[in-house]
Amino acid sequence: MTPPEDWIQNVALPEVPATLDRRVATMLTSGAQRRPAFPLLPVPLWACAVLVALAYVAGAWCAPAPAAPTATSLVWVSDSNPTFERIFLPNRRKTSFTLRPWILVN
Amino acid sequence: MRHEYIRTFYEANRQGLYAYALTLTGDTAAAEDAVQTAIYKLLKRSFLPSELRPYAYRCVRNAAIDERRRFAGRMSTVPPPEDADTRTPGRPTFVDLVALLQRLTPAERDVVALKCIKELTFDEIARIDGSSLNTVASRYRRALEKLRAIMEEEPR
């Protein structure tokens, strides 16, 4: 008796239909090109997320530090403004005034 | 260039891919669709896998399973008989093979078809199947024992 593997290997394989060859040839020539899933967004979403994160870090790194109050401006405030203590020592007086002095000066 | 590579691959493996799909689906139209889907998936990929053959067979297998599921009620389980002119005397036909393989479980049928029809290695079959090498080898051995028993009962 023929062993099963020899019997199977002796089987005449079916002819590939011409229609299949034609379908594949059409795909290969007219090009089933790779297209992005969403045509308006060819850049992958993860790339966008990385760019945004980089821009944020670069912005935080390069932004100028807020201007510190100078001695002269403090003197000017103290001379002309009777509410100097209320402005500069808000916590000690327990007032509700919380603005930073240099914002007022500038 | 990429298309040329896929074209060369298809021309070298078209008969094996089609026969495999036909073994799984048992329907000529569904087998054609499965092979076309597999080639389409290859074209759609950004990077081709380093070993194209196991990947393409896996695509065919997945597509064939989908096709079979989709047209479960409408498919014939055995392909239409071949023309009498194309039959070679003393040589088993593909219809005989499909009828014989139907007696195995789907997993065993898969391994036998890949190993015997296209002579893929156990390693390649394991990659297609997603199983371990030992599982594939023991499945193949078990399937051959079953086939031997069937062929002893019903000599061919």
What digits encode the pLDDT tens for the residues B72-126?
A: 655 555 444 444 445 555 677 788 888 888 888 888 888 888 887 777 888 888 8
Tell me whether A11 touches chain B (CB under 8 Å).
Answer: yes
Q: Give the pLDDT score at A54.
A: 92
Burial A71-90 (b: 16+ CB within 10 A, else e): eebeeebeeeeeeeeebbeb
Q: Output B34 or B71, whichever has higher pLDDT.
A: B34
Q: Give the pLDDT score at B112.
A: 86
What 3-state DSSP class applies to B129? Answer: helix
Mean pLDDT of residues grouped by 10 in chain A (106 residues)?
76 85 86 52 77 87 66 50 53 50 54
Q: With an 8 Å Cβ cutoff, are A23 and B117 in contact?
A: no
Residue B63 has pLDDT above 60, yes or no: yes
Q: Give the pLDDT score at A105.
A: 54
Averaged over B124-132, what is the pLDDT?
A: 85
* The token pair that represents B51 in the structure block: 């070993």
Judging contacts by C-beta atoms under 8 Å, the chain A residues touching residue B94 are 11-14
Burial B7-18 (b: 16+ CB within 10 A, else e): bebbeebbebbb
What 3-state DSSP class applies to B50? Answer: coil
C-alpha dist (Å) from residue B65 to A13, B78, B142: 21, 15, 23
> pTM of the predicted model, to two decimals?
0.61
Of B32, B45, B91, Cβ closest to residue A17:
B32
Q: Give the pLDDT score at B81.
A: 46
Q: Give the pLDDT score at B104.
A: 86
Judging contacts by C-beta atoms under 8 Å, the chain B residues touching residue A32 are 40, 43-44
> Mind listing the pLDDT tens digit for each residue in B22-59?
888 878 888 888 899 988 888 888 777 878 888 888 88
Q: With an 8 Å Cβ cutoff, are A12 and B7 in contact?
A: no
